[in-house]
Amino acid sequence: MSIEIISSGLQTTIQDLGREGWRHMGVPESGGADKHSLKLANFLLNKALNSPALECTLTGPSLKFLRSYSLVVTGADMNPKINNKEIKMNKVIDVKPNDILSLDNCSKGCRAYIALSENILAEDFLGSVSTYLPAKLGGINGLALTKGTLIETKSCEPEVFSLANKDFKLNDPFQNEWKLRVIEGPEYDFVKNASKENIFSSIFSVSNDSNRMGNRLVGEGIELTNHDQMVSCPMSIGTIQCPENGSPIILGCDSQTLGGYPRVLQVAAVDLHLIGQLRPNDNIFFERISINHAREEFKKQNSLFPF
Amino acid sequence: MKSINLSSISEFSENILLIKLNQESPYSNNSSFFLALSALLREESHWIEVVAAEESIAVKYDDIKISTSKAKDLILSTIKGFSYKEESKTEILLHVPVHYSDEFGLDIEKITKTQSVTKEELINLHSNIKYEVKMIGFNPGFAYLGDLHEKLRIPRLSKPRINLLPGSVGIAGNRTGIYPFGGPGGWSIIGRTPMKLFDNNNKNPFVINPGMRVKFDPINKKEFESFNY
């Protein structure tokens, strides 16, 4: 046994980059809700980018190490401390046996990632150890970590990143107001013309009723034209569904694979990782871009970061 | 063979294409057609995900390796070479034991009232049909089975339940289905199967798959408890 959970935090789960290729059997990708911060953590430790890390939500956990490790904390700043002494985010730190890492609350962003120099051991399901809470899969017994849980780790070969010394912007500055770039979804034309203008000029806020499956938004309702009852359609991470009540839902990494509400907008790939950082009461506004522009922005982002 | 009458391959996102058929196409709302075409596409190595719904297919590709126009061409050529024959479908029939009881069937009492059926009639109407797998999705391994007998068609619950037991059998609209892992669900629950619908030791861990038919066999409490699978 290598790490003991002293306190669990609000919802701490083991996540890697998720599982691909099983959506046709109803299995969502899962993995880190903010895959960008998860990759950054592994990158800083010279680890394979898909290595599992601990995803912490709003309030982080306290961990006691039973061995020596290097570790890094990325994502939302939960004021991490080792033995009550503050440490920096996005910086590799060494810990020794009996050291305690404690995370607190965050005020900007929603999720932090703790990655370790060794590999976290967890249950594999369809090629990933990511915890999927709705069906209790992956992770440790498919559950969020609880006080007293012991996590095992195993040493691993470091990856060599050729761009390791490149100077790059570490992260988007986290905030409480987010611009999400979106493209029109397949049922965009179900939105009434007057409402189409409102979507891009009004501000939505993230409801408390939000989790890894989806973020419900509150704001000026989106009015839909009368349309035939939709049959279930394929959905994707970042699809913005609009039920009849006019309150849109941004689908997250654990979201259902099929759904029956109009897909009015789609978050551009370049901003998908931001969905994992939306916290209740944050404000959101949508900027519409063309699909070609969205592809260019994504390429630009990929060239900025060495992962 | 009938003409497929492809309507469009449209862009759902930067790296997902949507395949739909014209309303006039004989297959436009034939879920078996979409399941068969999606299975064929899944055999090709260039797709990351191929997801069939009842009237469309989403195909995810790596847009760094394949351009969108190339991806569209590849799909078109697969559709061109696809010959769908309804008649030649070979189907496996899976028998699923279900204990229909008030203990597990949380909504049996409500349904007998709103649909004016007795509990016995409900069980007969539900268990006498060899259902076709129409679609798989929503959550892991959840198969939409149909068509449900007209007398049992009721809307989804206005407020979904948070924590169903694994194996719960539900109905909604013209569909029925089993929640392999339990969890949240908005269908009315009429019973529960003791059968494990998922085995992590198999390469494909899911027991219910496209191309199957499913028949429910009523069992009593004793059989439910002693079931070993």
Q: What is the DSSP letter of B152?
A: G
Answer yes or no: is B153 within a domain: yes
Residue A305 has pLDDT above 90, yes or no: no
Residue among B12, B18, B48 whose CB faces A21 most closely: B48
* Min Cα separation B90/chain A (Å): 20
Asked if B200 is an interface residue toward chain A (Cβ–Cβ < 8 A), one would say yes
Contacts of A165 (CB under 8 A, 6+ apart): none
* Min Cα separation A147/chain B (Å): 23
Phi, psi of A35 (to 5 degrees): -65, -25
Residue A98 has pLDDT above 80, yes or no: yes
Asked if B136 is an interface residue toward chain A (Cβ–Cβ < 8 A), one would say yes
Residue among A25, A137, A183 whose CB faces B136 most closely: A25
Residue B30 has pLDDT above 90, yes or no: no
Residue A116 has pLDDT above 60, yes or no: yes
Chain B neighbors of A136, CB-CB under 8 A:
181
Q: What is the rounded average pLDDT of the residues B74-91?
A: 81
Within this chain, do residues A208 and A270 fall inside the same structural domain, yes or no? yes
Phi, psi of B36 (to 5 degrees): -65, -45
Domain carrying residue A115: 3-154
Task: Tell me if A135 and B48 make a contact (CB, 8 A cut-off).
Answer: no
Percent of chain A at pLDDT > 90 equals 83
Within this chain, do residues B143 and B209 fall inside the same structural domain, yes or no? yes
Chain B neighbors of A185, CB-CB under 8 A:
12
Q: What is the rounded average pLDDT of the residues A294-303?
A: 91
Going by C-alpha positions, the residue among B8, B12, B29, B11 that lies closest to residue B20 is: B8
Give per-residue pLDDT as tens, B114-135.
999 999 999 999 999 999 999 9
- Type of residue numbered B74: L
Chain B neighbors of A268, CB-CB under 8 A:
14
B211 in Cβ contact with B35 (< 8 Å): yes
* Min Cα separation A266/chain B (Å): 7
From residue A97, alpha-carbon distances to A4, A82, A285 in Å are 11, 12, 46
Within this chain, do residues B43 and B123 fall inside the same structural domain, yes or no? no
Contacts of A128 (CB under 8 A, 6+ apart): A16, A17, A18, A19, A30, A31, A138
Q: What confidence category does residue B15 fall into, taking pLDDT thresholds of 50, 70 and 90?
A: very high
Q: What is the rounded average pLDDT of the residues B78-90?
A: 78
Given A154, A187, A219, the domain boundary residue is A154
Residue A179 has pLDDT above 70, yes or no: yes
Chain B neighbors of A137, CB-CB under 8 A:
140, 181
Task: Tell me if B13 and A25 make a contact (CB, 8 A cut-off).
Answer: no
* Best A180, A211, A232 residue to mutate vs chain B (most B CBs within 10 Å): A232
Asked if B56 is an interface residue toward chain A (Cβ–Cβ < 8 A), one would say yes
Q: What is the rounded average pLDDT of the residues A254-263?
A: 91
* Min Cα separation B13/chain A (Å): 7
Answer yes or no: is A142 within a domain: yes
Total domains in the fold of chain A: 2
> What pLDDT does B19 receive?
96
Answer yes or no: is A56 within a domain: yes
B128 in Cβ contact with B120 (< 8 Å): no
Helix B68-80 vs helix B31-42: angle between axes, to the nearest 10 degrees? 120
Integer Cα distance of A129 and A115 in angstroms: 14
Residue A56 has pLDDT above 90, yes or no: yes
Task: Tell me if A234 and B13 make a contact (CB, 8 A cut-off).
Answer: no
Asked if B41 is an interface residue toward chain A (Cβ–Cβ < 8 A), one would say no
Asked if B137 is an interface residue toward chain A (Cβ–Cβ < 8 A), one would say yes
* Min Cα separation A168/chain B (Å): 22
Within this chain, do residues B33 and B136 fall inside the same structural domain, yes or no? no
Given B56, B80, B104, the domain boundary residue is B80
Residue B24 has pLDDT above 90, yes or no: no
Phi, psi of B29 (to 5 degrees): -125, 35
Residue among B10, B42, B55 whose CB faces A24 most closely: B42
Q: What is the rounded average pLDDT of the residues A142-162?
A: 89
Long-range contacts of A243-248 (CB under 8 A, 24+ apart): A245/A221, A246/A221, A246/A222, A247/A207, A247/A216, A247/A217, A247/A218, A247/A219, A247/A221, A247/A222, A248/A204, A248/A216, A248/A217, A248/A222
Any idea which residue has 């260039």 for tokens?
B46
Strand partners, A239: A266
Across A7-16, A134-143, B134-143, B158-167, the highest mean pLDDT is recorded for: A7-16
Phi, psi of A73 (to 5 degrees): -120, 125
Within this chain, do residues B73 and B98 fall inside the same structural domain, yes or no? no
* Min Cα separation A215/chain B (Å): 17
Total domains in the fold of chain B: 2
Integer Cα distance of B190 and B188 in angstroms: 7
> What pLDDT does A162 receive?
59
Task: Tell me if A134 and B184 make a contact (CB, 8 A cut-off).
Answer: yes
Answer yes or no: is B221 within a domain: yes
Task: Tell me if A232 and B137 make a contact (CB, 8 A cut-off).
Answer: yes
Given B80, B102, B126, the domain boundary residue is B80
Within this chain, do residues B150 and B64 fall inside the same structural domain, yes or no? no
- If you measure CA to CA, which chain A residue comes closest to B163? A134
Answer yes or no: is A161 within a domain: no
Give per-residue pLDDT as tens, A184-235.
999 999 999 999 989 999 999 999 989 999 999 999 889 999 776 678 899 9
Residue B7 has pLDDT above 90, yes or no: no
Q: What is the rounded average pLDDT of the residues A130-141?
A: 93
Residues shown for chain A: 307
Domain carrying residue B67: 6-80
Residue B49 belongs to a domain with what CATH number? 3.30.1360.40
Answer yes or no: is A167 within a domain: no
Integer Cα distance of A30 and A17 in angstroms: 8
Chain A neighbors of B63, CB-CB under 8 A:
295
Contacts of A4 (CB under 8 A, 6+ apart): A63, A64, A66, A148, A149, A150, A151
From residue B56, alpha-carbon distances to A125, A180, B71, B114, B211 in Å are 28, 27, 17, 34, 17
Residue A245 has pLDDT above 90, yes or no: no
Chain B neighbors of A263, CB-CB under 8 A:
12
Give per-residue pLDDT as tens, B189-216.
999 999 999 887 788 889 999 889 999 9
Strand partners, B58: B18, B51
* Best A23, A24, A126, A188 residue to mutate vs chain B (most B CBs within 10 Å): A24
* Min Cα separation B96/chain A (Å): 19
* Best B13, B138, B212 residue to mutate vs chain A (most A CBs within 10 Å): B13
Answer yes or no: is A163 within a domain: no
Residue among A126, A236, A268 whose CB faces B12 most closely: A236
Find the range with the poorest average confidence among A130-134, B24-28, B60-64: B24-28
Within this chain, do residues A15 and A107 fall inside the same structural domain, yes or no? yes
Residue A167 has pLDDT above 80, yes or no: no
- If you measure CA to CA, which chain B residue comes closest to A266? B13
Residue A171 has pLDDT above 70, yes or no: no
Q: What confidence category does residue A266 fall into, taking pLDDT thresholds of 50, 70 and 90?
A: very high
Integer Cα distance of A128 and A15 in angstroms: 8
Within this chain, do residues A69 and A204 fall inside the same structural domain, yes or no? no
Cβ pairs A/B, distance under 8 A: 111
Report the mean per-residue pLDDT for chain B.
91
Q: What pTM did the predictor assign?
A: 0.91
Helix segments in chain B, DSSP class H? 31-42, 68-80, 108-114, 119-127, 221-226
Within this chain, do residues A52 and A104 fall inside the same structural domain, yes or no? yes
Residue A170 has pLDDT above 70, yes or no: no
Phi, psi of B151 (to 5 degrees): -65, -15
Instruction: Please report the ipTM that was assigned to this predicted complex.
Output: 0.93
Q: What is the rounded average pLDDT of the residues A278-297?
A: 97
- If you measure CA to CA, which chain B residue comes closest to A291? B14
